[in-house]
Amino acid sequence: MASAQRWSRRQCRRFGNGRGGPITQILEVQDLKTVFHTHDGVIHAVNGISFNLAEGELLAVVGESGSGKSVAMMSLMQLLPSPPAEIASGRVLFQDRDLVKLSASQIRQVRGARIGFVFQDPMTSLNPVFTVGYQIMEPLREHMGLNRKQARRRAAELLELVGIPAPEKRLDDYPHQFSGGMRQRVVIAIALACDPKVLIADEPTTALDVTVQAQILELVRDLRQKLGMAIIWITHDLGVAAGIADRVIVMYGGQVVERANVRDLFDNPQHPYTRALLDSLPGRHEAGERLRSIAGQPPLLLREPSSCPFAPRCSHAFDRCLQKNPRLIEAEDEHYVACWWNPLTEGARNVA
Ligand SMILES: Nc1ncnc2c1ncn2[C@@H]1O[C@H](COP(=O)(O)OP(=O)(O)O)[C@@H](O)[C@H]1O
Ligand SMILES: [Mg+2]
């Protein structure tokens, strides 16, 4: 049972699954590397990331724009055109299969039915020439074998589930007849149509205004309660992650630099990058003070990093940071960090 590895007792105590039993891992990503072959050279967009996702868990993936969040998650589902993209190494274990090794038709089955995807811009997921009803019914007929009538009834239920008023009537409307927030609800309904085990949402609220953003977040919280699926929520906003996640992965320069449960990450951030992200959150400042952003530029990813990718922007960097890229280590119980600097001692970490 490669993909359903049982968690250790310590992990179970920590997270629990509400039923007192062990937690089942539904997705395991191991050392995933994705590159792009471009005219300017090879871009190392994702450099060996690893993480697990437990059943029913909400995992947030945070990091600045360009840190490799989308490329990583699209790689899981083979959603990137190849070329230019190439999954250079790694395994993605899901229901006893390595998704990286599946053929195009096999991965299409997984994509449509077992893992739902919601992108930032709902218009890229919706086809403007078909009614939303048709677009929700399509996967229901293809993957669930429903007939027209059954699919239509289920599609109306799904629209109701995501909070669209008068769902029966709205099935015959086209995407442009919905507001931005309502369109994103439609996309979520499509992603949920076949009752997926995992929902991956890539900055699904970024294109929406703040009020609508809050409504969508509320919807996802509610859906998770009702449906119990695992969710990977990609965001550049740590504040959003704090509001919904169980665990958080912080990415920088195509790597995971910190991974912890949400409370530990916020109470006790270990990586200087996470600390800088937290410092730039509104609410951590005096009124009128400008939002601090992190000085400097994210790394160009034209070669695999041999030093810490954050070192050039890091106020704690010392010689070792420029010589060797730190591995992700368990600094505290279930709290992982890739950094040579130890915030406790304000000195070097005692690791090889
Ligand atoms: N089609 C592409 N060709 C070349 N480089 C790409 C392509 N798509 C993404 N990248 C590069 O991969 C890196 C990670 O991008 P991305 O995953 O989109 O970041 P994020 O989602 O964290 O904002 C960036 O440096 C980006 O320029
Ligand atoms: Mg992105």
What pLDDT sits at residue 12? 38
**Environment class of 266 (CB within 10 Å of its CB; exposed 0-12, middle 13-18, buried 19+):** middle
What pLDDT sits at residue 148? 95
Q: Let me know: does 291 contact 280? Beta carbons within 8 Å.
A: yes
What pLDDT sits at residue 291? 52
**% of the chain exceeding 70 in pLDDT:** 91
**Environment class of 255 (CB within 10 Å of its CB; exposed 0-12, middle 13-18, buried 19+):** buried
Mean pLDDT, residues 194-200 taken together: 91
Atom of ligand 1 nearest to the CA of 68: 17
Question: Does 66 sit in the ligand 1 pocket, CB within 6 Å?
Answer: yes
Residues in the chain: 352
pLDDT tens-digit series, residues 264-314? 999 999 999 999 998 887 766 565 555 557 788 888 888 888 999 999 999
CA separation, residue 297 to residues 70, 179, 188, 209, 311 (Å): 19, 35, 34, 27, 11
What pLDDT sits at residue 39? 93
What pLDDT sits at residue 131? 97
| Domain 9-114+194-348 bears CATH identifier 3.40.50.300 | yes
pLDDT tens-digit series, residues 324-347? 999 999 999 999 999 999 998 988
Q: Let me know: does 195 contact 156? Beta carbons within 8 Å.
A: no
Question: Does 41 sit in the ligand 1 pocket, CB within 6 Å?
Answer: no
> Regarding beta strands 247-252 and 255-261, do their DSSP bridges make them parallel or antiparallel, or are they unpaired?
antiparallel
Mean pLDDT, residues 139-159 taken together: 93
Question: Residue whose CA is closest, atom 20 of ligand 1?
Answer: 66
Question: Residue whose CA is closest, atom 12 of ligand 1?
Answer: 45
Q: What is the mean pLDDT of the chain?
A: 87
Per-residue pLDDT band for 22 (boundaries 50, 70, 90) equals low
pLDDT tens-digit series, residues 178-188? 998 899 899 99
Q: How far is the CA of 219 from the centre of ligand 1 (A)?
A: 29
**What is the full DSSP assignment across 40-76?**
TEEEEEEEEEEEEEETT-EEEEE--TTSSHHHHHHHH
Distance CA(49)–CA(36), nearest Å, equals 16
Atom of ligand 1 nearest to the CA of 202: 21
CA separation, residue 141 to residues 21, 187, 195, 342 (Å): 35, 17, 13, 54
Distance CA(187)–CA(117), nearest Å, equals 9
Question: Does 82 sit in the ligand 1 pocket, CB within 6 Å?
Answer: no
Other beta carbons within 10 Å of 166: 11
Mean pLDDT, residues 62-81 taken together: 93
- Estimate the crossing angle of helix 132-144 against helix 104-113, to 10 degrees: 120
Q: 250 is written with which tokens?
A: 């912080």
Q: Range with the lowest mean pLDDT among 33-42, 230-239, 299-308? A: 299-308
Mean pLDDT, residues 76-88 taken together: 92
What pLDDT sits at residue 16? 44
Mean pLDDT, residues 143-155 taken together: 94
Q: Let me know: does 57 contact 247? Beta carbons within 8 Å.
A: yes
**% of the chain exceeding 90 in pLDDT:** 62
Atom of ligand 1 nearest to the CA of 71: 17
What pLDDT sits at residue 11? 42
Mean pLDDT, residues 49-65 taken together: 94
Q: 5 is written with which tokens?
A: 């590895």
Pick the closest to residue 57 from 280, 228, 178, 223 (CA basis): 228
Question: Does 68 sit in the ligand 1 pocket, CB within 6 Å?
Answer: yes
- Estimate the crossing angle of helix 210-227 against helix 180-192, to 10 degrees: 20
* C-alpha dihedral, 34 to 86 to 95 to 218, nearest 10°: 60
Distance CA(104)–CA(120), nearest Å, equals 24
**Residue-range domain boundaries for the chain:** 9-114+194-348, 120-193
Mean pLDDT, residues 103-116 taken together: 89
What pLDDT sits at residue 180? 87
* Model pTM score: 0.89
Pick the closest to residue 23 from 53, 59, 61, 58 (CA basis): 53
Per-residue pLDDT band for 18 (boundaries 50, 70, 90) equals very low
Q: How far is the CA of 45 from the centre of ligand 1 (A)?
A: 6
What pLDDT sits at residue 286? 60
